[in-house]
């Protein structure tokens, strides 16, 4: 029998072990083909105004997807090599050289990968148009995508296939040449469950390491709440390192130490259910620390990525409206205002128009936290009475008082407690004299559109008159008239925005609400589209790795199940203990991953004005639901092993 025939025969005999691994490879190849198809799709690019952003986003996502695929294949291939170590040892025992065994495994790996490549490209081509349609839906674009096949995407996917095959082949060669026959025959055996009790010194060191894992996690969580400052990069790196290190120690030492403490409390009398759940976990936790840490980190990354992307998409309209309370605005442009009004009326577009008389000066907003800080800036003084008539929900400050309105008032380096900064003062210079007013608070919304130049200060008309009387002779004093429009029917916004195009000046500040909203929707739609696909890839990786490991453990525990069946324990009783074990195996990395993502999202929440509770809950529920499908597959495999233990 040739090496090629041996590989084909082995694949036929092990098909029951390959199906989920093969499916996960197909899924990964399909996702990459879809990403590459979108990257080369001219129709999609033409639908998006910022095609450069589109290409950059998908190129970055494609690179990250390649990393995911490589990590997954290395992890899963390592598990399969461990499961088949006895088979590899038998081949060497009957006289096959290590070189021939390596060729056999490489041929099998190439055939399996090539099948996944062809299947992945076919599946990707079939569903790629569906993904384009989903993207169009996210971006609120009309039309139907054309059906075609992307040869460049197929070529890119083939390159990824070659990369995966080369990496896994090197991994196989390394494993074969560094392993002895004894190691191969013992690699798939259960850990020794009858090891001697550790010494007193070892127990003390274990307890110290166990506490260290919790301390590192606590430090990472605490630092994440205050990492956004001038040393953001260093703090972020420290958070990542301490969290990953703490997670690894938690799985390798802390949890095992807790299980050992429970066993000592029970004086070794664990009972049937704990023997099937607690004991195997305790003795395997050290060897599973790497994979469980990887799964936890990937789960946290996925949930954080999807939550933030969905939060941007979910709050796009709300956050844009906070920054742009009016659909359109003109400053000191009477002729343009009249012409635009006439065009809206001629097109039958219903609108509300209001005018606000204000003044602009230069002043200094004092900083209570840093009295030496004196930065001059342009200030727009707005009368609260006129704003109220225009429909704004604003109260009239007392004479001499002001309230600042700024939707972007909190930046990355601000403390959230604004009471430390307010009330404060505003100083103006008039005829060499300081004129002071009290700034009571900062409200995180705008009274005028954000493209209006200057910090927005709301005062009473009496205060406005006082400022005008004192400042009108200064060089930087300016009287301004703002004409603002709100379109009554949202369906007419696009048409009104197209009419406004001709009135935009050639500068950065000539945008309107609809164009800003469309830009935010486009960017956030791309983010959630990419995050969702990467999340699926992460899920396929983490779930498959867990499933493969549990398949291996089920085979290792088969003799124990057979013994229990001979002693009279039925399938239902054994499965109760197995369910307990799987609840810990699947829930621990999921729960810790969710905890990691909670602090990560909280640290990054300053980028989003709106409440992110709904996006966070939605992301966690969706991830958990799909994640538990792998737990169901695992329990099904265990049930089959237990059921056939007596056969």
Q: How many angstroms separate the CA atoms of 360 and 375, rounded?
A: 16
Least confident residue range of 328-332, 370-374, 554-558, 639-643: 370-374
Element (H, E) at 433: strand 433-443
Integer angstrom CA distances of residue 203 from 197, 199, 253, 504: 9, 6, 11, 73
% of residues, the chain, pLDDT over 90: 12
- Express each pLDDT in 157-190 by its tens digit: 889 888 888 888 888 888 888 877 666 666 655 4
**Residue 292 · residue 589 · CB < 8 Å:** yes
Could you please report the per-residue DSSP string of 616-630?
HHHHHHHHHHHHHHH
DSSP E strands in 326-423: the ranges are 328-331, 351-365, 376-383, 401-405
End-to-end CA distance of the chain: 31
- Express each pLDDT in 432-473 by its tens digit: 788 889 998 888 889 998 888 889 999 999 999 999 888 888
- Residue 645 vs residue 64, higher pLDDT: 64
Q: Map residue 139 onto helix, strand or coil.
A: coil
Residue 305 clears pLDDT 70, i.e. is over it: yes
Q: How many angstroms separate the CA atoms of 153 and 46, rounded?
A: 18
Buried b (16+ CB within 10 A) or exposed e, 301-326: bbbbbbbbbbbbbbbbeebbbbbbbb
pLDDT of res. 522: 79
Banded model confidence at residue 376, pLDDT cuts 50, 70, 90: confident
- Express each pLDDT in 10-60 by its tens digit: 666 666 656 666 776 787 788 788 878 877 766 666 655 555 666 677 777
Buried b (16+ CB within 10 A) or exposed e, 628-638: eebbebbbebb
pLDDT of res. 3: 62
CB atoms within 10 A of CB 269: 8
Burial class (CB in 10 A: 0-12, 13-18, 19+), 433: exposed
- Residue 349: φ, ψ to 5°: -90, 125
- Express each pLDDT in 197-215 by its tens digit: 566 676 778 778 888 888 9
Could you please report the per-residue DSSP string of 78-113?
HHHHHHTHHHHHHHHHTT--HHHHHHHHHHHHHHHH
Report the 3 state secondary structure along 155-221. HHHHHHHHHHHHHHHHHHHHHHHHCCHHHHHHCCCCCCCCCCCCCHHHHHHHHHHHHHHHHHHHHHH
Least confident residue range of 92-101, 419-428, 585-594: 92-101
Q: How many angstroms separate the CA atoms of 430 and 207, rounded?
A: 70
The pTM of this model reads: 0.78
CB atoms within 10 A of CB 211: 14
| Mean pLDDT within 282-294 | 74
pLDDT of res. 292: 83
Q: How many angstroms separate the CA atoms of 569 and 566, rounded?
A: 7
Residue 268 clears pLDDT 60, i.e. is over it: no
Residue 598 half-sphere exposure toward CB, CA atoms < 13 A: 10
Query: Quick one: angle between helices 493-500 and 334-346, nearest 10?
Result: 140
Q: Which long-range contacts (CB under 8 A, 24 or more apart) does 125-128 make?
A: 125/33, 125/37, 125/149, 125/150, 127/30, 127/34, 128/33, 128/34, 128/37, 128/38, 128/153
Q: How many angstroms separate the CA atoms of 394 and 458, rounded?
A: 9
Query: Judging by DSSP bridges, how do beta strands 401-405 and 351-365 pair with one another?
Result: unpaired
Structure tokens at 226: 């205050």
pLDDT of res. 369: 75
- Express each pLDDT in 314-369 by its tens digit: 888 888 898 899 999 998 889 999 999 999 999 999 999 999 999 999 989 888 77
Banded model confidence at residue 413, pLDDT cuts 50, 70, 90: very low
Contacts of 289 (CB under 8 A, 6+ apart): 248, 251, 252
- Residue 395 is classified by DSSP as P
Least confident residue range of 120-134, 521-535, 555-569: 555-569
Least confident residue range of 409-418, 514-523, 630-639: 409-418
- Residue 263 is classified by DSSP as H
- Residue 533 vs residue 51, higher pLDDT: 533
**Residue 416 · residue 603 · CB < 8 Å:** no
Banded model confidence at residue 482, pLDDT cuts 50, 70, 90: very high
Integer angstrom CA distances of residue 273 from 132, 249, 278, 347: 49, 27, 8, 75
- Residue 434: φ, ψ to 5°: -85, 130
Q: What is the Cα Rg of the chain in Å? A: 32
């Amino acid at each position: 029998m040739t090496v090629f025939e041996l590989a084909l025969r082995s694949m036929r005999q092990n098909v029951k072990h390959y199906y989920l691994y093969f499916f996960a490879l197909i899924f990964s190849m399909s996702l990459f083909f879809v990403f590459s198809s979108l990257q080369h799709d001219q129709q999609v690019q033409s639908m998006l105004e910022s095609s450069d952003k589109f290409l950059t986003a998908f190129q970055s996502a494609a690179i990250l997807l390649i990393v995911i695929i490589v990590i997954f294949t290395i992890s899963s291939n390592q598990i399969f090599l461990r499961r088949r170590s006895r088979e590899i040892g038998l081949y060497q025992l009957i006289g096959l050289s290590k070189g021939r065994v390596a060729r056999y495994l490489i041929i099998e790996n190439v055939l399996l990968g090539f099948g996944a490549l062809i299947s992945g490209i076919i599946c990707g081509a079939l569903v790629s148009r569906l993904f384009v349609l989903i993207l169009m839906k996210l971006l609120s674009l009309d039309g139907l995508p054309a059906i075609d096949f992307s040869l460049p995407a197929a070529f890119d996917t083939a390159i990824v296939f070659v990369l995966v095959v080369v990496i896994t082949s090197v991994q196989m060669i390394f494993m074969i040449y560094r392993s002895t026959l004894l190691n191969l025959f013992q690699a798939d055996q259960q850990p020794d469950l009858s090891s001697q009790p550790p010494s007193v010194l070892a127990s003390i060191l274990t307890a110290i390491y166990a506490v260290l894992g919790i301390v590192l996690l606590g430090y990472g969580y605490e630092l994440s709440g205050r990492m956004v400052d001038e040393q953001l990069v260093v703090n972020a790196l420290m958070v990542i390192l301490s969290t990953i290190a703490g997670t690894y120690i938690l799985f390798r030492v802390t949890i095992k130490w807790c299980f050992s403490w429970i066993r000592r409390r029970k004086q070794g009398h664990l009972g049937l259910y704990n023997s099937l759940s607690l004991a195997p976990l305790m003795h395997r936790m050290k060897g599973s620390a790497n994979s469980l840490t990887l799964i936890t980190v990937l789960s946290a990354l996925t949930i954080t990525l999807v939550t933030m992307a969905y939060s941007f998409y979910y709050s796009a309209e709300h956050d844009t409206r906070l920054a742009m309370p009016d659909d359109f605005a003109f400053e000191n442009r009477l002729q343009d205002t009249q012409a635009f009004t006439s065009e809206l009326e001629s097109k039958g577009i219903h609108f509300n128009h209001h005018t606000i008389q204000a003044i602009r000066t230069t002043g200094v907003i004092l900083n209570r936290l840093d009295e030496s800080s004196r930065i001059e800036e342009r200030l727009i003084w707005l009368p609260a009475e006129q704003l109220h008539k225009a429909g704004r929900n604003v109260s009239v400050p007392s004479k001499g008082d002001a309230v600042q309105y700024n939707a972007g008032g909190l930046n990355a380096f601000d403390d959230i407690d604004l009471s430390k900064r307010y009330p404060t003062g505003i100083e103006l210079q008039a005829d060499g004299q300081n004129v002071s007013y009290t700034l009571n608070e900062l409200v995180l919304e705008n009274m005028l559109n954000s493209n209006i130049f200057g910090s927005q200060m709301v005062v009473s008309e009496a205060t406005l008159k006082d400022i005008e009387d004192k400042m009108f002779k200064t060089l930087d004093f300016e009287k301004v008239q703002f004409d603002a429009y709100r379109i009554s029917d949202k369906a007419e916004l696009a048409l009104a925005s197209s009419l406004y195009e001709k009135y935009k000046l050639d500068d950065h500040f000539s945008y309107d609400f609809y164009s800003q909203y469309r830009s935010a929707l486009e960017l956030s739609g791309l983010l959630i589209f990419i995050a969702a696909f990467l999340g699926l890839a992460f899920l396929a990786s983490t779930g498959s790795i867990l499933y493969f490991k549990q398949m291996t453990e089920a085979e290792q525990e088969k003799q124990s199940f057979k013994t229990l069946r001979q002693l009279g324990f039925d399938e239902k009783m054994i499965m109760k203990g197995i369910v307990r074990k799987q609840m810990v195996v699947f829930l621990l990395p999921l729960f810790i991953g969710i905890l990691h993502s909670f602090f990560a999202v909280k640290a990054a929440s300053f980028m989003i004005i709106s409440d992110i509770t709904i996006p966070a809950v939605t992301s966690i529920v969706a991830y958990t639901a799909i994640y538990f499908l792998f737990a169901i597959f695992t329990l099904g495999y265990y049930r089959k092993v237990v059921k056939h233990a007596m056969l």
